[in-house]
Amino acid sequence: MRGWPPQTHSHIRPIPSKAVTMASRRFSPVASILLLLSILATMTSASAIYSPVNLSFLIPRQQQTNTTCSEYSTIANLSIVGANSTYRAAFLAASPQGGDPARAPLDTAEKELPDLQFDTALNTECGNLTEIAIKGAATNFTNGVVLQFMINSAVPLGASASGIAMIAGIVVVMVMEIL
């Protein structure tokens, strides 16, 4: 037999027999029981904490109480923007969808608002959301927002613009006094 015993290479070292037996060894019965008990304890405590009975306090906050009021609010906001030519133009210019697709919800809301606006039961339940939408649209437009879009045309004056205006006013007054 040629090549017997197998030749050992100097760069390959044989694995000691102790390392092989420790790596292939399984958990001891005590360790296995402890692992099983810890997994079961974790599962039972998690199911007790996250059971529907213990989460019942979250249910009222996560459910929409009245979809009619939220629909009325959305329709009022869209209708106010659609009816005001300044708000409408700013919204259509800022919309990434372009003019035609962005017009559709505004036009639909304008048609639906009168029915909701004059529904006394709805206004008693929700309040006059049209008036709230009018005030909110004006405030938002002043802050450079129309519905969900930022617009550039309604940027509030900063300190530098106010300062320049004041200096220009003083210069004008001084020139007028000289003449």
The secondary element (H helix, E strand) that includes residue 174 is helix 159-178
H or E segment at 146? strand 145-146
DSSP state letter for 152? S
Task: Indicate the helix (H) or strand (E) that contains 46.
Answer: helix 29-49
Does 19 or 117 have the greater pLDDT score?
Answer: 117
pLDDT band per the 50, 70, 90 thresholds, residue 122? confident
Residue 130 has pLDDT above 50, yes or no: yes
Compute the distance between CA of residue 149 and CA of residue 77 in angstroms, rounded to an integer: 13
Does residue 144 or residue 62 have the better pLDDT? 144
Mean pLDDT of the chain: 74
Domain ranges within the chain, ordered by starting residue? 28-63, 67-150
**C-alpha distances out from residue 124 to 2, 71, 116, 127, Å:** 103, 15, 11, 6
Contact at 8 Å (CB) between 106 and 78?
Answer: yes
**Alpha-carbon gap, residue 143 to 92, rounded angstroms:** 17
